[in-house]
């Protein structure tokens, strides 16, 4: 016979318990709120999960034509960074970009002598992580074959010619919002037939042109470029007039490698999505206190995963933005209710994983699953366990998305996390703001 649940709560030292008729989040931890609670004397407690760290290379490739209409713009990264935060190691990135063809050209471009044409990459910066310097050398290489960048993971790499096609003086200034990288004159003349190809509405160009690899050797920062505004431009000047023709960005990809990674600071778990380091959480419904809450009415619930931004390493001249958002993806147990039944969003085929909508305003300090998602998750899990079935979700995986979190009220699809090298430190002991936890408010029977 299962023991009385209230005495069981007083056994574990890892639980924060408050007995109050109508509590506020200021005195019980997180998530109770000020709304009146159902029932008699509700009890609010924090239940900590078991934690693990997993690593799976994230998707960093994108094709603008294959991108769902609901998905915002993408980015690709170039350069390397040695973040002062322990455990992050050195991250080296290479950017890849391919362009769409054109069905026509201005007459000034179509008839121009190749020696009068200038080719340049025009890239808009939208991300910076590392040490500010006056400038960083950049090199551009031709890809040797068509690269399958669509949905490629960060460990992929595509072959390129060994000699750069960018001019020797090509540099990137971190303060520039628009980076222009000029290509060699010999590259223009050697590719003029491909560049001015308009067959099949530009498809002939796309078949013949494979794209570029972009690297910043010996850099101390990673720079991100917007995929949607990337362009390869042809330009010619006659008299006082300048004529241009742009090939818009079509596919982009980021290759990411990590070296020299050690352990994170004591008392923390490191989450770093560029290399796929994620936090895995699991709540055990067969142990105290969840095993004693199966019959107690659940008034309210929230799931809270903190990022201790104050613990991240800093150094003079080092720049690091805060993550714009996070992602929590949960794996459904066999026979569990659908994602929509717990107000979450399908991520994978066969409804096997669900993305939990988060509170957008909680980032960057935390990933917070609101009551209208957490409550049905725990309510149905408690009900299933009482009937001898597994809980709704077996595991919850937390990653840095660096994209604004989607709330449950407007979640129809889940946008993948943007390529990023940003770290997050999750406390796992008594350090403020405390460890990951589910905050539950129940009413004793």
3-state secondary structure 115-163: HHEEEEEEEEEEEEEEECCCCEECEEEEECCCCCCCCCECCCCCCECCC
What integer best gives the mean pLDDT of the chain? 88
* 304 burial via Cβ count (<10 Å: 0-12, 13-18, 19+): buried
Range name among 159-163, 200-204, 277-281, 289-293 with the lowest pLDDT average: 289-293
For residue 314, what are its two tokens? 């800093």
* pLDDT tens for each residue of 353-383: 999 999 999 999 999 999 999 999 999 999 9
Q: In the beta sheet, which residues pair with residue 251?
A: 63, 98
For residue 75, what are its two tokens? 């980015």
Neighbours of 444 (CB within 10 A): 15
Is residue 433 reached through a cis peptide bond, with omega within 30 degrees of 0 on the bond before it? Answer: yes
What pLDDT shows up at residue 35? 39
Residue bearing the bigger pLDDT, 78 or 346? 78
* Pairwise CA distance, residues 195 & 147, whole Å: 18
Is 77:127 a contact under the CB 8 Å cutoff?
yes
* pLDDT tens for each residue of 255-265: 999 999 999 99
Instruction: Kindly report the pTM of this predicted structure.
Output: 0.88
Is 82:220 a contact under the CB 8 Å cutoff?
yes
Q: In the beta sheet, which residues pair with residue 257?
A: 92
The domain segmentation of the chain, as residue ranges, is 5-47+264-442, 62-259
Residue 197: pLDDT over 80: yes
* Pairwise CA distance, residues 353 & 142, whole Å: 39
Q: In the beta sheet, which residues pair with residue 431?
A: none
Residue 9: pLDDT over 60: no
What pLDDT shows up at residue 297? 83
Residue 417: pLDDT over 70: yes
What does the radius of gyration of the chain's CA atoms come to, in whole angstroms?
26
* pLDDT tens for each residue of 105-138: 999 999 999 999 999 999 999 999 999 878 999 9
* pLDDT tens for each residue of 22-40: 333 333 333 333 333 444 6
* Pairwise CA distance, residues 401 & 273, whole Å: 7
For residue 41, what are its two tokens? 């004397």
How far, CA to CA in Å, does 364 sit from each of 213, 246, 401, 403, 422? 32, 37, 11, 10, 11
Please give the average per-residue pLDDT across 389-406, as a whole number: 93
Confidence grade of residue 405 (pLDDT, cut at 50, 70, 90): confident
Q: Distance of alpha carbon 91 from its chain centroid, rounded?
A: 16
* Pairwise CA distance, residues 120 & 181, whole Å: 5
């Amino acid at each position: 016979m299962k023991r009385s649940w209230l005495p069981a709560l007083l056994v574990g030292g890892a639980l924060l318990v408050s007995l109050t008729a109508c509590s506020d989040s200021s005195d019980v931890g997180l998530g109770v709120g000020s709304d009146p609670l159902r029932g008699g004397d509700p009890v609010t407690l924090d239940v900590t999960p078991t934690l693990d760290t997993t690593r799976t290379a994230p998707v960093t490739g994108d094709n603008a034509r294959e991108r769902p209409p609901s998905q915002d713009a993408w980015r690709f990264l170039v350069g390397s960074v040695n973040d002062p935060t322990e455990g992050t190691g050195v991250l080296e990135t290479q950017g890849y970009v391919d362009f769409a063809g054109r069905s026509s050209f201005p007459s000034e471009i179509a008839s121009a002598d190749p020696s009068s044409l200038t080719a340049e990459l025009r890239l808009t910066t939208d991300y910076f992580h590392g040490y500010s310097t006056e400038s960083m050398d950049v090199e551009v290489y031709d890809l040797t074959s068509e690269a399958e960048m669509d949905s490629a993971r960060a460990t992929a790499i595509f072959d390129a010619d060994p000699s750069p096609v960018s001019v020797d003086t090509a540099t990137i200034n971190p303060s520039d919002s628009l980076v222009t990288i000029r290509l060699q004159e010999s590259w223009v003349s050697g590719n003029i037939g491909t560049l001015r190809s308009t067959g099949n509405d530009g498809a002939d160009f796309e078949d013949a042109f494979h794209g570029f690899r972009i690297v910043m050797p010996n850099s101390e920062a990673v720079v991100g470029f917007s995929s949607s505004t990337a362009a390869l431009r042809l330009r010619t000047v006659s008299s006082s007039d300048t004529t241009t023709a742009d090939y818009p960005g079509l596919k982009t990809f980021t290759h990411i490698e990590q070296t020299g990674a050690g352990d994170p600071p004591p008392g923390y778990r490191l989450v770093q999505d560029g290399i796929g380091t994620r936090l895995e959480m699991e709540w055990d419904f067969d142990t105290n206190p969840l095993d004693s809450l199966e019959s107690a009415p659940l008034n309210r619930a929230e799931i809270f995963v903190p990022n201790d931004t104050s613990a991240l390493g800093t150094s003079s001249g080092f720049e690091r933005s805060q993550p714009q958002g996070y992602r929590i993806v949960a794996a459904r147990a066999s026979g569990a209710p659908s994602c929509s039944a717990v107000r979450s969003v399908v991520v994978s085929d066969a409804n096997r994983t669900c993305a939990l909508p988060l509170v957008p305003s909680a980032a960057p300090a935390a990933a917070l699953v609101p009551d209208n998602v957490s409550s049905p998750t725990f309510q149905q899990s408690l009900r299933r366990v009482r009937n001898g079935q597994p809980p709704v979700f077996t595991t919850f995986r937390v990653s840095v998305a660096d994209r604004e979190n989607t709330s449950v009220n407007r979640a129809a699809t889940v946008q993948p996390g943007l390529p990023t090298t940003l770290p997050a430190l999750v406390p796992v002991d008594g350090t403020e703001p405390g460890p990951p936890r589910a905050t539950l408010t129940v009413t004793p029977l």
